[in-house]
Structure 1
Amino acid sequence: MPVCGLSRLISQTIVCARVTGVDLILVWTEGSAVACERLCPHEQADLARGHLSGERLFCPRHAASFDLRTGRISYGWPYRTLRIYPTRIDDEQVWIDATVVNSRAI
């Protein structure tokens, strides 16, 4: 399903989206669109309020960051990885497969 216009994502860098009842963020980094869960796995901080450095997304509540290629949390934090969802760009839209979001949201 289409979730965001490509030009909007490029201009805003981080955009909130909701796919089949699951809150996500889309991030424009290193020339690609990345979709991930919106809440930090540690304390459920809103990652849409975080900041981006290269391919790392930093939580606004603590100093942990996530690799947007793998979802891995920075060294020293014993929490699960950030859920990353595959995206594709077609017809100037960022698309996400809703069935994948539903299967990983648990």
Structure 2
Amino acid sequence: MAETERPERIRLGPPDMLDGRTLVPVTVGGHHLLLVRDGERIVAAERACPHEGADLLLGRCVGGRLHCPRHLASFDLQDGSVSPGWSFRALRLFDIESASDGLWLRMT
């Protein structure tokens, strides 16, 4: 698909798909992502920790940070930056739009 033909957003599911949960796995275009609720805000993140691939679904979200279950590193949910003391790349984050017709992954 040409760059100009990509959709601006992809519907993930109903607006209540997190239904009180903090972490929900989704697959979009073959990519494994994790929906993360931080208060009223919802973001999508890559599901595998960039350090050694730990499943972040097994982690936890506290105070605006997603904590890896394996190495105790954590990621800022605003920009994906890793906690001090770690020297690997930031976690990839994606914007989520919540609308009356569902949760949408924003591609722009």
**How high is the TM-score relative to the length of structure 1?**
0.86
Q: Residue 24 of structure 1 aligns with which residue? A: 33
| Aligned pairs, number | 99
Deviation at 1:87, TM superposition (A): 1.2
CA distance in 2, matches of 1:96, 1:75: 29
Deviation at 1:5, TM superposition (A): 2.7
**What is the root-mean-square deviation in Å for CA atoms of aligned residues?**
1.4
Q: Residue 23 of structure 2 aligns with which residue? A: 14
Structure 2's unaligned 5+ residue stretches are 1-9
* Greater helix fraction, Structure 1 or Structure 2: 1
CA distance in 1, matches of 2:52, 2:77: 18
Amino acid at match of 1:21: G
Q: Residue 79 of structure 1 aligns with which residue? A: 88
Matched, 1:46 2:61: no
Structure 1 stretches of at least 4 aligned residues deviating more than 4 Å after TM superposition? none
Deviation at 1:8, TM superposition (A): 2.8
Do 1:33 and 1:94's aligned partners in 2 also have CA atoms closer than 8 Å?
no
Greater Rg by CA: 2
Structure 1's unaligned 5+ residue stretches are 101-106
> Cα gap change, 1:92/1:49 in structure 2, threshold over 3 Å: closer, same or farther?
farther
CA distance in 2, matches of 1:5, 1:62: 33
Deviation at 1:24, TM superposition (A): 0.2
